[in-house]
Amino acid sequence: MLRMTGIGKSFLGIRVLRGIDLSATAGEVHAVVGENGAGKSTLMKILAGVHQPDEGTVEIGGQIRSFAHPVEAQRAGVAIIYQEFNLLPERSVADNVFLGREPTRRGLVDRAAMDEATSRLLDELDEHSFGPRHLVKDLSVAQQQVVEIVKALSVDARIVVMDEPTAALAEHEVDLLYRLIRRLQGRGIAVLYISHRLREVFDLADRVTVLKDGAHVATVAATDVTTAGLVKMMVGRELDAYFPPRAEESAIGEVLLTVRNGGNGKLDGIDLDLRAGEIVGVAGLQGSGRSSLVKAVFGAEPFTRGEMTPTRPGSVRAGVAAGIGLVTEDRKAEGLALNQSVRDNALLVARAIGHRSRAAVSDLLERVKLAPPRQETEVKYLSGGNQQKVVLAKWLTVSPRVLLFDEPTRGVDVGAKAAIHDLMRELADSGTAILMISSELPELIGMSDRIIVLRDGRVAGHLPAGSAEESVMALAAADGVAA
């Protein structure tokens, strides 16, 4: 049904995919696994017509196709269900299912036909908890996922791609999703299933394709491989990257921040101590509560239970004043005022809390190695790496005691990455406590003095410095295998 051959793709001269082969037959569930940055999403976006491949061919039902626009892929029978749903919250289920293809009768939208067709598909999926006229915003995440699936069925999709479909689901909802996928399979639809959670892969998939660093590693039958084997294929690589040396035992000082039994809507029973001079890594799958943890400590989405010292949880301002800084995952939306100059951004925090900056901006920019250190450039014109350095400079103006990093080097080039890593270690050595989230395991392991693994909003375990990638993955995914 689907055959992708020799797919290659570069962005801005950086090769993100090369020579990828992927095929799927009718009624097959084919899992695509790999670490973050392995190229799974890019490959799926090529299939969906969002990106065009530089080389290679996409064959659907024996015909070679090239899609200039997502709608063309849709018409060819490819439906993709992104993590972020493509639904209009203010419109009804039926309106969403038929968006852009509303059936008409005598020139008018035939709402009865839309409702009826939607009801029928919902019945077929055994979904009776909502109907075609419910507004999407009133539905749960799992129900919205069903709407996406109904949408896929209504366009007669023959290939359905699901990108991390369980990331936002509760445990019991995952079982429902499994049943839905079985039904799609029963209708002869090929399902491409992207997930980090290997348990799901083994529960569902007939075959598994492993990608690593933009290349095809292997395609194997799910019955022919073990979890440990799969993990090895995904991460087994040389630790070639350079990381600064870890902290000496003696350099780790007093406790600067503690959380006892902290919890809120997304977290539960969190105990945490951050000491001066150490870098603590936080590992976990998407949806495990990693970002919630740093936001709770920072005070942006505070703990509602438990205790935290030194600051009262609940106020970003109090946190910043007490010397807690956050380098967010999404620097463009949350970390920087893109239309303002480097200088204004660097002074953002200092000005906000009325802190007289001790260091001149030019010294700070030199310290974070911004190149070139032009203060008047608008931040939006900088590269990802330089933007991240400006975010760092912003916090350095107030000399934070605790600095939280959410994906410190996402979207940052290799050179800047090393500079940021050096800077993080330098900060730790000068007595700052650092908590760092990273989905890049080599970074997490290379940088951390110890690692906390989160799963489902709780601490699943602690690992020492230099643990193997396999043990982190196993703990995070709860597959109970240590490699």
Partner 1 sequence: MIALVANPTRAVYAALIATLAIGWALVAFDGGTFTLNDLVGIQQRSAALGIVAVGQTLAILAGSLDLSVAYLISLVSLVAAETMAGQSSNILTAVVVALGVSALVGLVNGVVITKLKVHAFIATLGVALVIRGVLDHLYDGPAGRVPVDFQQLGYARIGPIPVAAILWAAVAAGVWFLLRRTRFGHRVYAVGGDVEVARLSGVRTDRVVIAAHVLCSLCAGVAGLLLASRLGAGAPTVGTDGGYDLESIAAVVLGGTALAGGRGGVAGTVGGVLLLAVLDSVFNQLEVNSFFKDVVRGVVIVVAVAVYARRTGRRAS
Binding site for partner 1 (CB under 8 A): 70-71, 74, 86-91, 95, 99-102, 104, 107-109, 111, 137
CB of 432 to partner 1, least distance (A): 34
Distance CA 306, CA 434 (A): 21
What are the angstrom distances between the C-alpha of 120 and each of 62, 98, 114, 124?
31, 14, 10, 6
Please say which residue, 15 or 91, places its beta carbon nearer to partner 1.
91
Please say which residue, 136 or 198, places its beta carbon nearer to partner 1.
136
Considering just the CA atoms, what is the radius of gyration of the chain in Å?
Answer: 24
CB of 88 to partner 1, least distance (A): 4
Please say which residue, 71 or 221, places its beta carbon nearer to partner 1.
71
CB of 272 to partner 1, least distance (A): 26
Please say which residue, 102 or 203, places its beta carbon nearer to partner 1.
102
207-237 burial code (b ≥16 CB/10 A, e <16): bbbbbbebbbbeeeebeebebbbbbbbbbee
How far out from the chain centre does Cα 49 lie?
21
Backbone angles phi, psi at 369, to 5 degrees: 60, 45
Please say which residue, 101 or 179, places its beta carbon nearer to partner 1.
101
CB of 75 to partner 1, least distance (A): 8
302-333 burial code (b ≥16 CB/10 A, e <16): bbeebebeebebeebeebbebbbbbbbbebee
Q: What DSSP element (H or E) covers 285?
A: none
Please say which residue, 101 or 317, places its beta carbon nearer to partner 1.
101
- In a 3-state reduction of DSSP, which class is residue 175? helix
CB of 45 to partner 1, least distance (A): 12
Distance CA 120, CA 357 (A): 65
Please say which residue, 143 or 399, places its beta carbon nearer to partner 1.
143
CB of 144 to partner 1, least distance (A): 12
Distance CA 151, CA 95 (A): 10
Please say which residue, 12 or 108, places its beta carbon nearer to partner 1.
108
- In a 3-state reduction of DSSP, which class is residue 6? strand
CB of 307 to partner 1, least distance (A): 24
Tokens of 266: 């997304």
How far out from the chain centre does Cα 177 lie?
20
CB of 73 to partner 1, least distance (A): 10
Backbone angles phi, psi at 9, to 5 degrees: -155, 135
Cα distance from N-terminal residue to C-terminal residue, the chain:
36
CB of 380 to partner 1, least distance (A): 17
CB of 70 to partner 1, least distance (A): 5
Say if strands 215-221 and 255-263 run parallel, antiparallel, or are unpaired. Answer: unpaired
Distance CA 276, CA 250 (A): 11
Torsion sign (Cα): 470, 475, 479, 480: positive
CB of 261 to partner 1, least distance (A): 24
Please say which residue, 154 or 311, places its beta carbon nearer to partner 1.
154
Distance CA 254, CA 373 (A): 35
Please say which residue, 88 or 170, places its beta carbon nearer to partner 1.
88
Please say which residue, 88 or 414, places its beta carbon nearer to partner 1.
88
Closest of 327, 454, 347, 317 to residue 403, by C-alpha:
327
Burial environment of residue 238 by CB neighbours within 10 A (0 to 12, 13 to 18, 19 or more): exposed
Backbone angles phi, psi at 375, to 5 degrees: -80, -25
Distance CA 111, CA 182 (A): 30
